[in-house]
Structure 1
Amino acid sequence: MSTDRQLDVIIFGASGFTGKYTIYEGIKVLAGLKWGIAGRSRDKLTKVLQEVEKKADKDLSETPIVIADVKDAESLKKMAEQCRIVVNCCGPYRFYGEPVVQACIEAGTHHVDVSGEPQYMESMQLKYNQQAKEKGVYVVSACGFDSIPADLGTVFLQKKFDGVVNSVETFLETSQKAKATGGAMLHYGTWESAIYGLAHANELRGIRSQLYPTRVPNFQPKLKDRPILHRTKFVNNKWCMPFPGSDRSVVMRSQRYFYDVEHKRPVQMRAYVTFSSIVEVIGVILVGAVFAIMTRFKLGRQLLLKYPRCFSLGFASHEGPKEESMENTEFALYFKGEGWEKGQELLEPSDQFKVPPNKKIKVKVSGTNPGYGATCVALLLSATTILKESDKMPSSGGVFPPGAAYAKTKLIEELCKNGFKFEVLK
């Protein structure tokens, strides 16, 4: 990559909901770097700069503006050629992600995004991993709330375990620091991504069969799925259901990398989300059932997209969450790890233990404003880590999940300096 590019970082899709908050967090996180913003409308980009400028009380009038459109491949290439890394906030990535990845690889420019769409992420790895490696380019997705806490939290747990980890279960807990003010919790773009992700979930089997033509051994003891609805003493006796996000798929890709390349026994993983009351659970089950049925049909998807607030019971909207609500939201991701004490390592990662697991660990990753504040901080720190510590990243480039990409870097330390907390509880 050329070292004499005009900018270090370009935030693409900067006039969107996520892009706006990425600019705001970028004032601090990108201090000392040359950065600009990009999108298809100069007027919208100028307007969002003025909005953030007012909120941050910071002069952004000299911020470079680059015009680029996902429907114009040449404009994307020209954008990528002007910087060392593109921070891509333009989703849904199923529709708009691949042209940006293509442009970045062609230009020899790194790329990070906050996709929570397994089909997109695994397709990009299947199609472009070799090209990115040859170009010395890193392409890393899931660099936000999906799935930095889960993936790097699992890496953190493995480092702290002092032995061999067999399985990890995660339990997501969210809460409000102050009385909720009402309003949506998700922006329309996230809702749209979820609709198309579920509608095309059957694509994953074919992608994975090509991505991983050989299967890993059937490790024992096998981590069993818990009941769809259950309570756990592990997190304050709360109600739990399987977490519908991309955490598990992202973590398993990192674990597969560690097995294939570093010859480490992969961790089995299951992800759950917690609820304080059965009333919340019933509401989620109703929305989830309607959502799952409607995404199977074109008319159903059209209705979900047209009336997000109605079909999500107010959880998603075109306006997105209110700033007060976002800033009052806290998250904690609890990890229950089980495995074997140090000194019982096997000669080969494919070998099986003859004794049951004899060690446990409890880890917690926490922070505030998971949807957009923490997500944007994690996204930007993922970008700056590539710029500063590429020598500690795998190979010379490629398409990676965050755990595999950043396991040997100082990203966890940087996250802890910027609002996150990684800790061993027990």
Structure 2
Amino acid sequence: MADFDIIVYGATGYTGRLVAEYLAGSYPAGVRWAMAGRSLTNLRLVRDDLGLPESTPLLTANSDDAASLRAMCARTTVVITTVGPYQVYGSDLVAACAATGTAYVDLCGEPGWMRQMIDAHHQAAKASGARIVFSCGFDSIPFDLGVLTLQEAARARFGRPAPQVKCRVRSMKGGFSGGTAASLKATMAAAARDPSLIALLASPFALTPGHSGAHQPAGLLPEYDPTINAWVAPFVMAPINTKNVHRTNFLLDQPYGADFVYDEMVVTGLGDLGKAAAEALAKLNPFAGDSGPKPGEGPSKEERETGHFDILFAGLMPDGGRIDAVVTGDRDPGYGCTSKMLAESALCLVQDVAGEGGIWTPGALMGVPLRDRLMAKAGMTFTA
């Protein structure tokens, strides 16, 4: 039996600290968890700042010390890692989990690296029983489980899945951290070094080795969407979310259909004002320049707690029928809600879901049990 149910690796970072705070406040008993990072001194500072008892287990592990990562994995059922960019700091940890059979959850939105890890470690994880799950935050749980929720309702009402789903982000309030910006910059740098990554980043099927489905909407330009009678603009997280949704369909043997079509856009409003807002948003790069937050920085507590999101999924049927699903969250999507989603994903692997080893998506491995946890514990709603 492992010493711990969960180890939060990267607990001294911005998001890791939020995860530790959530676990301490929501699961004061019954969950055996520890904090890990490269500096014991900094771990103690976080422990004391959060008001945790001195008995809180603290472990040292470093991304450039493979032996320390394997030793950490050997002591836990699940590793939560917030140490990104993952393409810079995460590869040895995935390898360690795949080798030791340790479950793993992260916040990754770096599809090029994710595909490299799938190619390198999926079979080893299957053999060891390691359940490795990327993208267990705002990218891409609300979208992955939102499509799952809609397709359940479509099968119940129409007897078949919706062959096309339009995801429309109706409202979203919240900031981004320095880690998010660093991940995007690392991805762009990797593509500059290896141009073959560009095609991979552009493909909706980058995470479905050997499968390419129907032509998918590009979602790169503002447009008027007659489905919702409003203007829409490109959504900055669509490039990772769409890939994860298609991987869920792939891993579950195409329950949404082999030619499933899916896209994501942001709703900007009606009429000329909606059009102008869509055109302005399409030109905006929130990560441009050096004036944004640095790694380790992010939204304030007030900003996290006053944030929210509301996402519509419209399922279009061949006969013109339509079915909708809605996903909402009660905190800043990137961090207030994400820290809860990440912690509950780890607990779902500990308490609710067995499943075989491999590199999974949240929807394919945890699906309904995770959705139930998020509604009961994490301030999220899924309705259809």
In the superposition, the TM-score normalised over structure 2's length comes to 0.86
- Per-residue deviation, 1:190: 0.5
CA 1:171/1:213 → structure 2, altered by over 3 Å: closer, same or farther?
closer
- Per-residue deviation, 1:244: 3.9
Q: Which structure 2 residues correspond to residues 22-421 of structure 1 after superposition, within 5 A?
A: 22-30=19-27, 31-53=29-51, 59-162=52-155, 163-175=160-172, 185-200=175-190, 202-203=196-197, 205=199, 214-216=210-212, 218=214, 224-225=217-218, 228-232=221-225, 237-245=230-238, 246-259=240-253, 264-265=257-258, 267-275=260-268, 281=278, 284-288=281-285, 291=288, 304=289, 307-309=290-292, 316-317=293-294, 319-339=297-317, 356-367=318-329, 368-391=331-354, 393=355, 396-407=356-367, 409-417=368-376, 418-421=378-381
Which ranges in structure 2 are unaligned for 5 or more consecutive residues?
none
- Per-residue deviation, 1:224: 4.3
Q: 1:18 pairs with 15, 26, 37, which one? A: 15
Structure 1 SS opposite 2:90: helix
**Would you say the 8 A contact 1:172–1:334 is kept in 2?**
yes
Q: Deviations over 1:119-155 (max 9, x none)?
A: 1222211111110010011000000000000001111
Structure 2 SS opposite 1:321: coil
Structure 2 SS opposite 1:192: helix
**Would you say the 8 A contact 1:166–1:357 is kept in 2?**
no
Structure 2 SS opposite 1:84: strand
- Per-residue deviation, 1:61: 2.3
- Per-residue deviation, 1:231: 3.7
- Per-residue deviation, 1:384: 1.3
**Would you say the 8 A contact 1:126–1:210 is kept in 2?**
no
Q: Which amino acid in 2 is paired with 1:247?
A: N
- Per-residue deviation, 1:86: 0.3
Larger Rg: 1
- Per-residue deviation, 1:326: 1.6
- Per-residue deviation, 1:373: 1.6
In the superposition, the TM-score normalised over structure 1's length comes to 0.78
Q: Which amino acid in 2 is paired with 1:267?
A: F
**Would you say the 8 A contact 2:166–2:313 is kept in 1?**
yes
Match of 1:312 in 2: none
- Per-residue deviation, 1:62: 1.5
Structure 1 SS opposite 2:316: strand
**Would you say the 8 A contact 2:4–2:32 is kept in 1?**
yes
Structure 1 SS opposite 2:50: helix
- Per-residue deviation, 1:196: 2.4
- Per-residue deviation, 1:399: 0.4
Q: Which amino acid in 2 is paired with 1:43?
A: T
- Per-residue deviation, 1:238: 4.7
Structure 2 SS opposite 1:116: coil
- Count residues with an aligned counterpart: 365
Identity %: 27
Once residues 204 and 82 of structure 1 are traced to their aligned partners in structure 2, the CA distance between those partners, rounded to angstroms, is 38
- Per-residue deviation, 1:264: 5.0
Q: Which amino acid in 1 is paired with 2:146?
A: G
Structure 1 SS opposite 2:56: coil
Match of 1:342 in 2: none
CA 1:132/1:29 → structure 2, altered by over 3 Å: closer, same or farther?
farther
Structure 2 SS opposite 1:45: helix
CA 1:85/1:412 → structure 2, altered by over 3 Å: closer, same or farther?
same
Once residues 334 and 148 of structure 2 are traced to their aligned partners in structure 1, the CA distance between those partners, rounded to angstroms, is 22
Once residues 172 and 199 of structure 1 are traced to their aligned partners in structure 2, the CA distance between those partners, rounded to angstroms, is 29
Once residues 362 and 263 of structure 1 are traced to their aligned partners in structure 2, the CA distance between those partners, rounded to angstroms, is 15
